[in-house]
Chains A and B, each alone.
Chain A
Amino acid sequence: MIGFLIRRILQAAIVVLLVTVIVFILLRAIPGNVAIAILGPSAYRNPATVAQFNAEYGFDKPWFDQYLLWLGHLLQGNLGFSWTLDQSVASLLGERLPKTIILVGFATILALIVAVPIGLWQAVRRNRAVDYTFTGLSFLFYAAPTFFVGTVLIYVFSVKLHWLGAEGPQGGVVNDLTDWRDLLLPVITLALVTIALFSRYMRSSVLDNITEDYVRTARAKGASGRRVLWRHVMRNSLIPIATLLGLSIPGIFAGALITESVFNYPGMGYLFYQSAQKQDYPVMLGFIVVVAIATVVGSLLADIAYAVLDPRVRYV
Chain B
Amino acid sequence: MTATSPAAPGAPAPAAAPGALPASKPRGMFVRGLEVFLENKLAIAGTVLLVLIFAFCFIGPLVYHTDQIHVNLANENLAPGPGHPLGTDQNGYDILGRLMVGGQVSLEVGLAAAVLATVVGTLWGAVAGYFGGAVDAVMMRLVDALLAIPTLFLALVVVSMFPPTQTELIIVIALTSWLTTSRLIRGEALSLRVRDYVQAMRVMGGGSARAVFRHIAPNSIGTIIVNATFQVADAILLVVALSYLGLGIRPPQTDWGGMLNAGINSVYDGYWWQIFPAGIAIILVVVAINFIGDAMRDSFEVRLQQR
Write the residues of chain A forming the contact surface with B, with a CB cutoff of 8 angstroms. 11, 14-16, 18-19, 21-22, 26, 29-31, 139-140, 142-148, 151-152, 154-155, 158-160, 166, 250-251, 253-254, 257-258, 261-262, 272-273, 276-277, 279, 281, 284-285, 287-288, 291-293, 295-296
User: Can you name 10 A-B pairs with beta carbons within 8 Å?
Assistant: A26-B157, A142-B290, A250-B150, A258-B152, A276-B156, A276-B245, A277-B246, A281-B157, A292-B145, A295-B150
Known: A148-B282, A262-B264. Is A143-B290 also a contact (CB below 8 A)?
yes
Q: How far is the CA of A139 from the CA of B49 in the complex (A)?
A: 15
Give which listed residue, A11, A139, A166, contacts B268 with CB less than 8 A.
A166
- Find chain A residues with CB under 8 A from B279 CB: 144-145, 148, 151-152
Interface centre among A140, A253, A288 (most CB of B within 10 A): A288
Starting from the known contacts A159-B267, A276-B157, A276-B159, 11 additional A-B residue pairs (CB-CB under 8 Å) come to: A139-B290, A142-B290, A145-B282, A155-B267, A155-B272, A254-B150, A258-B152, A277-B246, A277-B247, A284-B156, A291-B150
- Find chain A residues with CB under 8 A from B157 CB: 26, 276, 281, 284-285, 288
- Find chain B residues with CB under 8 A from A273 CB: 156, 245
Q: Cβ of A288 and Cβ of B260 under 8 Å apart?
A: no
Q: Cβ of B270 and Cβ of A139 under 8 Å apart?
A: no
Interface centre among B142, B148, B246, B283 (most CB of A within 10 A): B148
Give the distance to chain A from B90, nearest Cβ to Cβ, in Å.
15
Q: Cβ of B275 and Cβ of A151 under 8 Å apart?
A: yes
Q: How far is the CA of A272 from the CA of B247 in the complex (A)?
A: 13
- Find chain A residues with CB under 8 A from B268 CB: 158-159, 166
Q: Cβ of B241 and Cβ of A288 under 8 Å apart?
A: no
Does B263 sit at the interface, judged by CB under 8 A? yes
Q: Cβ of A254 and Cβ of B290 under 8 Å apart?
A: no
Does B233 sit at the interface, judged by CB under 8 A? yes
Q: Cβ of A22 and Cβ of B160 under 8 Å apart?
A: no
Name which residue of chain B comes closest to A141, CB basis. Answer: B283
Name which residue of chain B comes closest to A146, CB basis. Answer: B241
Q: Cβ of A291 and Cβ of B233 under 8 Å apart?
A: no
Interface SS majority for chain B: helix
Known: A14-B141, A160-B270, A257-B153. Is A152-B245 also a contact (CB below 8 A)?
no
Name which residue of chain B comes closest to A37, CB basis. Answer: B161
Does B117 sit at the interface, judged by CB under 8 A? no
By Cβ-Cβ distance, the 9 closest A-B pairs, closest first, are: A18-B145, A143-B286, A148-B279, A250-B150, A292-B148, A254-B152, A276-B160, A254-B150, A295-B148
Name which residue of chain B comes closest to A19, CB basis. Answer: B145
- Find chain A residues with CB under 8 A from B158 CB: 26
Known: A279-B160, A279-B161. Is A254-B153 also a contact (CB below 8 A)?
yes
Q: How far is the CA of A295 from the CA of B287 in the complex (A)?
A: 28
Name which residue of chain B comes closest to A150, CB basis. Answer: B264
Name which residue of chain A comes closest to B242, CB basis. Answer: A276
Name which residue of chain A comes closest to B275, CB basis. Answer: A151
Number of contacting residues on B, CB 8 A? 45
Give the distance to chain A from B256, nearest Cβ to Cβ, in Å.
9
Write the residues of chain B forming the contact surface with A, with a CB cutoff of 8 angstroms. 141-142, 144-154, 156-162, 233, 237, 240-241, 244-247, 257, 260, 263-264, 267-268, 270, 272, 275-276, 278-279, 282-283, 286-287, 290
- Find chain A residues with CB under 8 A from B246 CB: 277
Q: Cβ of A261 and Cβ of B161 under 8 Å apart?
A: no
- Find chain B residues with CB under 8 A from A22 CB: 145-146, 149
Q: How far is the CA of A175 from the CA of B166 in the complex (A)?
A: 41
Known: A152-B275, A276-B156. Is A147-B264 also a contact (CB below 8 A)?
yes
Give which listed residue, A144, A272, A284, A285, contacts B283 with CB less than 8 A.
A144
Q: How far is the CA of A109 from the CA of B183 in the complex (A)?
A: 30
Give which listed residue, A145, A277, A284, contacts B241 with CB less than 8 A.
A145
Name which residue of chain B comes closest to A149, CB basis. Answer: B279
- Find chain A residues with CB under 8 A from B267 CB: 151, 154-155, 159
Q: Cβ of B160 and Cβ of A284 under 8 Å apart?
A: yes
- Find chain B residues with CB under 8 A from A288 CB: 149, 153-154, 157
Q: How far is the CA of A251 from the CA of B238 in the complex (A)?
A: 12
- Find chain B residues with CB under 8 A from A30 CB: 161
- Find chain B residues with CB under 8 A from A254 CB: 150-153
- Find chain B residues with CB under 8 A from A145 CB: 237, 240-241, 244, 257, 260, 279, 282
